[in-house]
Structure 1
Amino acid sequence: MLTPRFELSQTEDELTIVIHAPYANIKDTVIHIDGTDFRFYSTPYYLRLNLPGEIEETDASTGDYDCEKGDFKLKLSKVHKGEYFENLDMITTLLAPSKKQKNIVPVIEVISNPCVTTNEYVDKENESNEDKDDTNNINDNGDEWYTKQIPVSEDIYSLQSPKYGFANKISGALSAFENAWIKEIIDLPLPDKTLVEDRKKLRENDEIKSFNEQHYMADFVETDCLELYLSYECEWEKLVQADISFNDTEKDILKELPNKEYLLDDNEMKIALFSMVDILFASCYNCRTTLGENTVESCWTINKLSSTLSWFQNFSNMNDVILSCIRRSLCYPLIRNWDLAIRVFQDVKKVIKLGKKYILKRFCEIYKLFNNSYEPRYILNQLYIQDYLIWLQHVQNYRIEELNLLLENIIPTKEELDLDLTKIEEAIYMVQNEDLVIENELYTLPNDLEKLIISNDNKTYVNINSRISPLTTDSDSDSDSDSSSSSSTTSSNSSSSSSNNYNSNSNCTSNNSTLNMD
C-alpha cells in the first residue's frame, strides 16, 4: 500500500484534509473517523493519521474528488468547537500510531521445569530446535522466522566506546566500513576509537594547516566578485513565518520517515541544538555562494564546513559553534572572506527566527542532496539528518526561540580565530599604500621630465614649456669680460652675431624637438 501526500488546514469549527491520490479506485474508497483516529483507504493508497484533536462526521461534513488533480478534499467537524489543533504540518508525527495506556500485569518467566531433569530438558530442547530447522525456520503459527544470530563484539557496546551521531548517542556504527571509504566524507581519523575530548584539538590543528594566507589575501583584495554574493537575497530574507509550507518533495521525505521518541537530558539537548546551528551555517553558506542553485559541489561544501558532519564535533557553548563555522569557511571553500562569513552568520539568525518548520525545510534539502551524492554521504543522513527531521517535529518551540537569544549576544572577532587575520590585513594595507605612492610618482614623472636640465659642453639648457634657454657658465662670463675690455665694438658685434646664431639654432632645435648630445 502507498502512503499518499496530504495537507491539513483548519478553521475554528472544521478540519480540512486534502489527500493527493491520482490513481485511487474511487469505488472502493473507505473513510474511517474515530476521535483522533482518521483512516483513508482507496486502492492502492492507505493513510492513517493520529490527529492532535478529536473530529467527527456531521451533517456539515463534506467530501469531494477532483479528477484533474486527483485530490480528495474532506471537511470534517471538530468535536470541541474553537479548539486549535497544533503541529498540523508535522507529517511524521501525524503518521505515528496513537498511544494507548496498557494495563501493567505481572510477567512470569519460566526458567526451568523442576519436574524434568537437566539432561532430559536439554535433550527435549535440542529436539525442538531440530524440528524448527526442518520446518524452514518457521514456528507453528507460521508468522515468525528464526535465523541464526551472530553475537556482536563486546567492544561495540562498551560504555567506553566513543559516541557520535545525533545527540551523541551512537557508537560502533562505522566499524563495518573500510577506512578509505569513510575518509571521503569524514575528516575525523578512526571515529570509533578517537575520544570525544580529542576531536576539538585535532580539528583545530587541521584547520590551521589548511589555512592559506595567499588565498585569503586574494579574496580580501578582489572585492568585485564578492559583492555578488554579499548582495544576493536568499529565500529566507523574503519569507514570513505564516507563508512557510512544505512542497511535494519535502512531504515525500517526511512521510517516509519512521516515528521515534527521543528522551534527551539537558546536556544531550544542548548538543543537538548546537550541532543543528552548525549544520545550518553550512547550508546557508552553500545557498549564498551558489546564488540559490545547488551545484555538484554543494554536498561537499555542507559536509566540509560543518564540524558536526566532518569531525563528529560536540559543542558546549554557542560561541564555539560560530567560531568553528567561521574558521572552516575561511579554510576550505572556494570563497574565503570574513565579510561573507559574517553575512552567513546573519543568515543563520534569520533562518532560526522563521521557526522549526523552515529549519525542517533546510534539513530536507540536505537530506536530498546527501542521498543523491556520489560519495557515501547517505551515512551522514542515517547518523544525523534523518534523526533531526524526526526530532524537530517533536521539539518544543521555546527551544528554538532560546537559540535566538543566544545568537543575538554573540559578536565574533577575528582575534578569536587564531589565524592572524588582523596581521595579514595590515600587511595588505601596507602594500596597497606603497603601490599608491609609486603610482603617484609615476603620474607626476612626465611633468618632472619637462623641467629636466640638459648639459652640453660648456652650455646648459633648461626645457621650460617646450622651449630651451641657455644658462651662462663661469667660463663664458670670463671670456665675455676679456672681449669687452679689448674692444667694445667688436664685442658688441660678436655678441649680436652670436645671439643671432643661437636664435637660429634654438628655433631649429625647437622645431625638431631633438637635442644632439654628441
Structure 2
Amino acid sequence: MITPRFSCSQTETSVVVSVYCPSVRASDVELNVDDTLFTLHINPYFLRLNFTHALQDDDEASSASYDPSSGYLTVSLTKAVRGQNFEDLDLLAKLLAPRKSERTEETPLIEVLDSQESVSQDDELAARTEGLSLADQEIFEAAENDWQIKQELPTSEPSLKTSVKQSYGFLNLYTGYFQHVEHTENEVNELGADAETSRPSERRQRRLKHENDKFDEEHYIADFADDEYIVELCNWEHPFSSLETDWSYTEEEKLSMLRLPRKEYLISPVQNHHLYLTLLMLLFSYAYDSRTTQKDPTPESPWTICSLTAAFSALDPAPYTPSRNSSSGHFDVDELIATFATSYRRSLVFPLHRSYALAEACKADVASFLLGGRRLVVRCLLELKDILDHHDVYYVYSKIWLADFCLWAQAYASDEAFAQLASVVSSLKVPKSLLGWDLDELEALVDDNTSRESDSDDESEDEVEQMLPAQI
C-alpha cells in the first residue's frame, strides 16, 4: 500500500482531510471513523490518521468529494465536540503515528469473602508484635500503615555479550553502518574502523583527546584579533527568530515528513530526557551553519554540521554529566552547561570561524528555536536532514539520527519541555574556563599587544609633532 500525500485543516465543526490520489475510482473509496482514528482505503492508497480529539461517525454531516481533474479527494469529518481545536494538524508524522495502546488496570486476584476470623486473631498478632526487634517492628508498622519504605534493587552483573559490536545512534538502535568505513571518505569519523566496536566510554575519551589535539591557539587568536567578519556573523539575524506564528510548512517539507519511516518507540523517561539534551547539540550545529552561510548551505555544510555534532562524528551523544532529574522532566543547569560546552569546544576546533562570541550567538539561536515550539524545531531538523541526505557519505548520520529525531520531535516531544528549555538556555552562561584551553589568557595576550601598539602609535605621533616646529 502507498501512503498518499495529504494535508489537514479545520473549521468550527469539522476536520478537512485533502488527499492526493490521482487516477482512482471514487466509488471504491472506503472511509472509517473510530473515535480519534480515521482510515481511508482506495487501491493502491491507504491512509490512517490519529487525531488528538474524537471525531463523530456521522454520515449525514460528514462528506467526501473527488475531483478527477486535480486528483484530490476531500473528506470532511465531523468533530465530536463543536468548536474544539485540533492541535498539530500540520505535524504529519504525528498524525501518521499509530494509536498508543491503553493499559487496563489489573483487578485484584484475591477477594476477601469473610473477615470474621480476623477479629479473633488480633490478640495473637499483637503478642507476636511485642517479640519483634526494632527493625522488624518498623517493617511491620510500615506494612500495616502502608508507609513507603525505600527499596533498592541489587546491582546485577552485566549481561553476557556474544558480539563485539556496539550499538549507536538514536536510542542505540543501530549497528553495522560503519563496517566498511575504511572504504569511504568519511573525514568526520573520529573512531575510524573501531566505530562498530568502541564502547561509549572509549568514544568519549577518544573524542576529548581528539579535540585537545586539534585545538589551534594561533587560529583562535587570529579570529579574536581580526574579528570584523565574526562581528558580522554575530549580528546576522536568523529568519526563524522573527517568524510569524501563522507560518505553514512548504510542500517540500510536507513530502519530507511523509517519507519518514513509520516507527513507534518505547522510550523511558530517562531516555527521553537525554534526547532533549542531544537535540540541543543538533540545533546548535544547525544554527552555526546557518549563520556562517547566511542560511544558504554550501558543499561544506554537511562536513561542518557533522564535525560540530559529537553524536555524529564520535557517536558520543548527551548527557555529558550525571543527571539528577532525568526522570522528573526537569533540566539541571549543570547538565545543560555541559551539553553546550561540548558544542562550544567543537566550534573552536574544527570549522573555519572559531570564536566564543559566535558560539554564544548560536546558543541564542537555539533558545529562539525552542521558543517556537515543536513546529519550528521540526522545521530545523528537516533542513538538517535535507542537507545530509544530499551528501554521498554523511547521509549515514541522517539515517541513524535525524530521521528518528524528526519523528520523535513531532510525536513524543512536548511544547512545555521546549518552553522550559528555552527559558533556561536563554539565560545560560557557559564559562570559558570550562572549555579547558585558557581562552581568557589567549584573549588577554591579544588585548595587551593591541594596547602596546596603540601606545607606540601615540608616542610616534607625539615625536612627529615635536619635530615639526624645528623643521619649519
Q: TM-score range by the shorter chain?
A: 0.7 to 0.9
For 2:317, the equivalent position in structure 1 comes to 314
Superposition CA RMSD, Å = 3.0
Deviation at 1:357, TM superposition (A): 1.8
Distance 1:97 1:194, change over 3 A: closer
Deviation at 1:100, TM superposition (A): 7.6
Supply the distance in 2 between the matched residues of 1:204 and 1:285 (Cα, whole angstroms): 21
1:429 to 434, 440, 447: 447
1:195-344 aligned at under 5 Å gives the runs 195-240=199-244, 242-316=245-319, 317-344=335-362
Supply the distance in 2 between the matched residues of 1:182 and 1:266 (Cα, whole angstroms): 37
Q: Are positions 1:390 and 2:396 aligned together?
A: no
Say whether the 8 Å CA contact 2:55–2:77 is kept in structure 1. no
Distance 1:67 1:77, change over 3 A: same
Deviation at 1:64, TM superposition (A): 4.9
Say whether the 8 Å CA contact 2:281–2:340 is kept in structure 1. yes
For 2:327, the equivalent position in structure 1 comes to none
SS in structure 1 at match of 2:349: coil
User: Which one-letter code corresponds to 2:236 in the other structure?
Assistant: Y
User: Which one-letter code corresponds to 2:219 in the other structure?
Assistant: H
For 1:75, the equivalent position in structure 2 comes to 76
SS in structure 1 at match of 2:243: coil
Supply the distance in 2 between the matched residues of 1:344 and 1:260 (Cα, whole angstroms): 31
Distance 1:277 1:159, change over 3 A: farther
For 1:34, the equivalent position in structure 2 comes to 33
1:175-230 CA distance string (max 9 Å, x none) = 63233527434213412222212333321221122122222122112232223212
User: Which one-letter code corresponds to 2:11 in the other structure?
Assistant: T
User: Which one-letter code corresponds to 2:79 in the other structure?
Assistant: K
Percent identity, aligned pairs only? 25
For 1:368, the equivalent position in structure 2 comes to 386
Supply the distance in 2 between the matched residues of 1:213 and 1:102 (Cα, whole angstroms): 58
Distance 1:322 1:449, change over 3 A: same
Supply the distance in 1 between the matched residues of 2:179 and 2:236 (Cα, whole angstroms): 44
Distance 1:377 1:157, change over 3 A: farther
1:306-334 CA distance string (max 9 Å, x none) = 11111111323222110011111111111
SS in structure 1 at match of 2:18: strand
Give unmatched runs, 5+ long, in structure 2. Answer: 105-158, 320-334
1:26-52 CA distance string (max 9 Å, x none) = 655625133344344566654333334
Supply the distance in 1 between the matched residues of 2:160 and 2:18 (Cα, whole angstroms): 46
Deviation at 1:287, TM superposition (A): 0.8
SS in structure 2 at match of 1:399: helix
For 1:94, the equivalent position in structure 2 comes to 95
For 2:18, the equivalent position in structure 1 comes to 18
For 1:8, the equivalent position in structure 2 comes to 8
SS in structure 2 at match of 1:427: helix
Say whether the 8 Å CA contact 1:244–1:357 is kept in structure 2. no
User: Which one-letter code corresponds to 2:190 in the other structure?
Assistant: D
Q: Are positions 1:54 and 2:55 aligned together?
A: yes
Deviation at 1:5, TM superposition (A): 2.0
Q: Larger deviation: 328-337 or 55-64?
A: 55-64
1:115-146 CA distance string (max 9 Å, x none) = xxxxxxxxxxxxxxxxxxxxxxxxxxxxxxxx
Deviation at 1:305, TM superposition (A): 0.4
Deviation at 1:234, TM superposition (A): 0.8
Supply the distance in 2 between the matched residues of 1:102 and 1:236 (Cα, whole angstroms): 40
Deviation at 1:83, TM superposition (A): 3.8
Say whether the 8 Å CA contact 1:167–1:271 is kept in structure 2. no
Say whether the 8 Å CA contact 2:233–2:292 is kept in structure 1. yes
1:364-513 aligned at under 5 Å gives the runs 364-374=382-392, 376-397=393-414, 398-408=416-426, 410-450=428-468, 466=472
Deviation at 1:252, TM superposition (A): 1.4
Supply the distance in 2 between the matched residues of 1:197 and 1:164 (Cα, whole angstroms): 12
Supply the distance in 1 between the matched residues of 2:27 and 2:63 (Cα, whole angstroms): 18
User: Which one-letter code corresponds to 2:16 in the other structure?
Assistant: T
For 2:149, the equivalent position in structure 1 comes to none
Deviation at 1:99, TM superposition (A): 6.7
Of the two structures, which has the highest relative contact order with CA contacts closer than 8 Å and spacing of 6 or more?
A: 2
Deviation at 1:388, TM superposition (A): 1.0
SS in structure 2 at match of 1:191: helix
Supply the distance in 2 between the matched residues of 1:321 and 1:98 (Cα, whole angstroms): 33
Say whether the 8 Å CA contact 2:363–2:425 is kept in structure 1. no
For 1:176, the equivalent position in structure 2 comes to 179
Say whether the 8 Å CA contact 1:28–1:43 is kept in structure 2. no
User: Which one-letter code corresponds to 1:338 in the other structure?
Assistant: Y
Say whether the 8 Å CA contact 2:367–2:423 is kept in structure 1. no
Deviation at 1:371, TM superposition (A): 1.4
For 2:189, the equivalent position in structure 1 comes to 186
Q: Larger deviation: 285-294 or 72-81?
A: 72-81
Say whether the 8 Å CA contact 2:309–2:343 is kept in structure 1. yes
Deviation at 1:382, TM superposition (A): 2.0
Q: Larger deviation: 320-329 or 94-103?
A: 94-103
Supply the distance in 1 between the matched residues of 2:338 and 2:282 (Cα, whole angstroms): 14
User: Which one-letter code corresponds to 2:405 in the other structure?
Assistant: Y
For 2:131, the equivalent position in structure 1 comes to none
SS in structure 1 at match of 2:51: strand
TM-score (norm 2): 0.76
1:63-142 aligned at under 5 Å gives the runs 63-64=64-65, 70-96=71-97
Deviation at 1:269, TM superposition (A): 2.0
Deviation at 1:169, TM superposition (A): 4.1
Supply the distance in 1 between the matched residues of 2:468 and 2:260 (Cα, whole angstroms): 82
Supply the distance in 2 between the matched residues of 1:213 and 1:275 (Cα, whole angstroms): 28
